[in-house]
Amino acid sequence: MGAFSGLSDRLSHIFSKLRDKGKLTELEVKGAMREVRIALLEADVNLGVVKQFVNSVSEKAVGEQVLKSLSPAQQVISIVNEELTAIMGGTSSKIAVADKPPTIILMCGLQGGGKTTMCGKLAVMLRKQGKKPMLVACDVYRPAAIKQLQVVGKSADVPVFEMGQIDPQKIMRGALKEAETKMCDTLIVDTAGRLHIDNQLMDEIAGLKRNFHPDEILLVVDSMTGQDAVNVAKAFNDVMDVTGVVLTKLDGDTRGGAALSIRAVTGKPIKFCGTGEKLSDIEVFHPDRMASRILGMGDVLTLIEKAQNAFSEEEAKEMQRKMREKSFTLDDYLAQFDKMKSMGDMSQVLGMIPGLSGKLKGQDVSVDEGKLEQNKAIILSMTKAERANPDIIKGSRKKRIASGSGTTIQDVNILLKQFTQARDMMSRMSNMGRRGFKMPF
């Protein structure tokens, strides 16, 4: 990324300078705060919010107790961390459920924020939680928006209700009837992107709120939004009284300052965030974890959760036993590829490991998905006996496997070597950790 380093890097850098010092003077803290101000502004945190933030941190940081404590820099960092978390709200929030179904979730926001995709992600998430969601196509303006929602609905495996480009009120009435016959308990309503200053369109969406009393009104905001985020959020909140905010495109290299601004201005919780192109790339928003991520302190909790979602407990135990006894086979290796993929983008996962997020910047840590597929093809071209006992794979077998998987003998060799190394390392690791050390998955 070169000169363009993230807020976490920037703050880490500022505070690594502070860490080197035993004691801090008031002047030094003030100097650091000036840099925090710049870093936050460059992260697109709203100017007003920045001022307020810097003031409250400075006030706490220059207090007697901090300056005289043994590790003042550490104290300042934890104050910054606490304040960031406080601004982003206390705890995470869930989706409200209607007393009498269906629950209506209304999505709103500017053009291009990612509403349609987010509808699909919410649908997948709710379906996994045992709900029966239905998507409702109320974006009657953008060309092909309905078609897009249909495609999204198909890959999310949920029904999509549309009536073409007619009055959204009529579509909603139709959708409610349809939900009853299809026994759907949740309606996720996609609406057209609109400017917060477009009175006519704002009236239209206010009408949906008035007549259908949605249980959730979610404002979808692009996490790359600049200073204007506060104006947009405020305008939508004034008209719609939104119940929560969804941040999209957090998988970019954005520093996500919009999150801070919106929360500070509207007081509404950020509930979810979109973190990738796939429909499963949605996460519950955890303010405390986000603060840690911004500060470059890693996000171990999310990492463990991701691993837990990918591996069941039995699977993990079985895996540990195999590692210990060195009976780990190529079939297990194959299974791991799929788990890795379901954990999501590797560079993102690695970024959650404490101490790594800063160091990884600028390095290519992306896992080549094509390579993963190739390795899968190689293993799938082996016989059962070969997978269970890779040692028998010699010259002619390699040749057959290579031609079967459309690769070269070199590719097969590389895979086998990687496998042996992984197996040896894992057995060493698990033996080392037999007492006390427990794998997170």
Partner 1 sequence: MGIFGKIAQGLKKTRDAFAKKFYSLFTGRKLDEDFYDELEGVLLSSDLGVEATDNILSEFKEECFRRRISDAEDAKDLLRSIMADTIDYDIEPYSYPLVILVAGVNGVGKTTALGKLARFFKDKGKSVVLAAADTFRAAAGEQLEVWAKRSDVRIIKHEEGSDPAAVVFDAISSAKAKGTDVVLIDTAGRLQNKKNLMNELSKINRVVEREYPQCDYRTYIVIDATTGQNALSQVEAFDEIIDMDGIILNKLDGTAKGGVVFAISAERELPVVFVGVGEQVDDLLEFNARDFIDALFE
* Nearer to partner 1 (CB atom), residue 98 or residue 367: 367
Per the DSSP assignment, residues forming a β-bridge with 104 are 187
Q: Measured from the CB of residue 1, what is the shortest distance to partner 1 in angstroms?
A: 7
173 and 156 Cβ atoms separated by less than 8 Å = no
| Residues 186 and 125: beta-carbon distance below 8 Å | no
CB nearer partner 1, residue 163 or residue 232: 232
Cα-Cα-Cα-Cα dihedral sign, residues 300, 301, 305, 308: positive
Least distance from partner 1 to the Cβ atom of residue 298, Å? 18
Give the residues lining the site for partner 1 (CB under 8 A). Answer: 1-2, 4, 38, 41-44, 46-48, 110-114, 116, 141-145, 147-148, 150-152, 195-197, 222, 224-229, 231-232, 249, 251-255, 257-258, 277, 347, 364, 366, 368-369
Nearer to partner 1, 251 or 305 (CB): 251
**Between residues 2 and 164, which has the closer beta carbon with respect to partner 1?**
2
In the structure encoding, which two tokens stand for residue 437, read together? Answer: 């050390």
CA distance 296 to 315: 32
Nearer to partner 1 by Cβ, of 335 and 360: the residue is 360
Residue 270 backbone dihedrals phi, psi, to 5 degrees: -85, 120
Tell which residue, 211, 292, 305, 210, has the closest CA to residue 256.
292
Contact yes or no for 222/114 (Cβ under 8 A): yes
Report yes or no: 221 and 246 within 8 Å, Cβ to Cβ.
yes
Whether 226 and 142 have beta carbons less than 8 Å apart is answered as: no
Instruction: Quote the least distance from Cβ 45 to partner 1, whole Å.
Output: 9
Closest separation in Å from C-beta 388 to partner 1? 34
| Smaller CB separation from partner 1, 327 or 366 | 366
In the 8-state DSSP scheme, what is residue 4?
-
What is the rounded end-to-end Cα distance, in angstroms, of the chain?
32
CB of 337 to partner 1, least distance (A): 17
CB of 423 to partner 1, least distance (A): 29
Residue nearer to partner 1 on the CB measure, 143 or 267? 143
CB of 378 to partner 1, least distance (A): 21
Query: Residues 6 or more apart from 426 whose CB is under 8 A from it?
Result: 323, 328
Contact 266, 242 (CB under 8 A): yes
The smaller minimum CB distance to partner 1, of residues 2 and 395, is found at: 2
**Which residues in 4-111 belong to E strands, given as ranges?**
103-109
| Pairing verdict, β 133-138 and 103-109 | unpaired
Reduced 3-state DSSP string for 258-271: HHHHHHHHHCCCEE
By beta-carbon proximity to partner 1, the closer residue of 147 and 417 is: 147
Minimum separation from the CB atom of position 281 to partner 1 (A): 12
Q: How many angstroms separate the CA atoms of 302 and 281, rounded?
A: 13
Smallest distance, partner 1 to C-beta of residue 110, A: 7
